[in-house]
Structure 1
Amino acid sequence: MTRQLLCICLLALLPFTAQAELKDENLLHSLPTGYKIDFQARKGNMIMTEMVPQAESVKNWTEMLTSQIFLGLKNATPEAFQAFMQKSWAASCKDAEFATVAKGEENGYPFVVWIQACPLNTTTGKPEHTFVKAIRGNDSFYVVQRAFRSSPTNEQVTEATQHLRSVTVCDTRLPDRPCMKVDKPAQ
């Protein structure tokens, strides 16, 4: 099942050319235009994928998109995860700021979206702004983050917000939480 979740997450990120059938619970989101997958790993129950613009790397980035799937984590709430992230962020960033953008339920799953801002990350010497969406699924917990090592432009804010709005969880086993067909890359 772990391999299947990773594959489905990756299918949602790759260019589309042929139909694939999703199975069970799935995190769906797209790879932004001009981005590449630069890092993937599984550590314990977490599968993480980091994506950056084509000319950048996870070691040297100005923008990054990160998805995390916490396999089997079913009891955490999006609000508790948000509180944990904000506490960690505030401990590492003087004058950190936070704003909840939206919370509620999408496709039957509770979610919360928020923004975290650090005027000066002492590690990089740059400001950092992160847009985060956390979703509690029935099988796992999902987090997608879009980070900028600068103050994002209005266009970047719009793009990040629209991307997080499109992030969804679905489950082929539940008729009230349908999955759309996802194209898979040609072999």
Structure 2
Amino acid sequence: MMLKKVISVCLLALMMTSCASQPPEVLTNENLILKLPFPGENWPTHPSGRSGPSETVWRKGKNEQKESIRVAISLSRVTYPHAVRSVTDSYLKQHCEKFTSVINDDQKENGYYSLTWSVTCERKNFYSYSIHKVTTGNDSTYMTEKTWYGEPTEEDLKVWHEFMASVFVCDTRKTEHPCPEGYVRVNQ
């Protein structure tokens, strides 16, 4: 019995040592590439919430200064990013008295179809502005969304449109979808 405890403790110590000394996991297969830290100040270093296993949300600020970033990965692949826009806009429109949706960018990025659009939603005592980006990969559909609950500044819009333009999908298995060197997987 004592030998069993010693072996268990030794195995536990060995596992802890090997886990602590493992290098960061390099990118494999299909990946969503986000440059961190996020633009601006005071973003939490860890997500503020999770709506499911494949959706992560970061939040900061209060009232009219409230902002959020949402990243969602759907394991069901959509072949056409405009279909995601249509469903998203249809849902959002139900909650707004005044609603606008404008396409900002519609192209192939790194060999994948990608669509970026902006949405405003207004109702009594409420205003939001959001930038949405969806990329349809071979394995999944990738969505990134930045929302201001209040009116963003022109500088904020410029910075976050540039950030969204830097978001892309890559795949280590395919030369037509190359991944950048030096990136590692972030596990939260």
- Give the TM-score of the pair, scaled to structure 2: 0.76
Aligned to 1:5: none
| Structure 1 residue identity aligned to 2:140 | S
> Cα RMSD over matched residues?
2.3
Contact 2:50 2:56 in 1 (8 A): yes
Contact 1:40 1:47 in 2 (8 A): no
Contact 1:52 1:61 in 2 (8 A): no
Aligned to 1:29: 34
Contact 2:73 2:142 in 1 (8 A): yes
Distance 1:184 1:82, change over 3 A: closer
Displacement over 6 Å in runs of 4+: none
Mapping for residues 95-110 of structure 1, pairs under 5 Å: 95-110=98-113
More helix by share: 2
Aligned to 1:49: 56
User: Distance between the aligned counterparts of 2:171 and 2:137, measured in 1?
Assistant: 9
- Give the TM-score of the pair, scaled to structure 1: 0.76
Aligned to 1:83: 86
Displacement of 1:100 in angstroms is 0.5
Q: Percent identity?
A: 22
The structure number with the bigger radius of gyration is 2
User: Distance between the aligned counterparts of 1:119 and 1:158, measured in 2?
Assistant: 22
| Structure 1 residue identity aligned to 2:143 | V
Mapping for residues 28-177 of structure 1, pairs under 5 Å: 28-30=33-35, 31-33=37-39, 34=41, 35-36=43-44, 37-41=46-50, 43=52, 47-53=54-60, 56=61, 62-71=66-75, 73-120=76-123, 125-177=125-177
Displacement of 1:119 in angstroms is 2.2
Gaps of 5+ in 2: 1-22
Deviations 1:62-88 (A, max 9, x none): 1111100012x1234210000111111
User: Distance between the aligned counterparts of 2:67 and 2:78, measured in 1?
Assistant: 31
Distance 1:61 1:51, change over 3 A: farther
SS in 2 for 1:75: coil
Displacement of 1:49 in angstroms is 1.0
More strand by share: 1
User: Distance between the aligned counterparts of 1:61 and 1:171, measured in 2?
Assistant: 37
| Structure 2 residue identity aligned to 1:93 | C
Distance 1:184 1:109, change over 3 A: closer
Count of residues paired in the alignment: 159
Deviations 1:104-144 (A, max 9, x none): 10000001100010123x5xx32000100000000000000
Contact 1:109 1:137 in 2 (8 A): yes
Aligned to 2:14: none
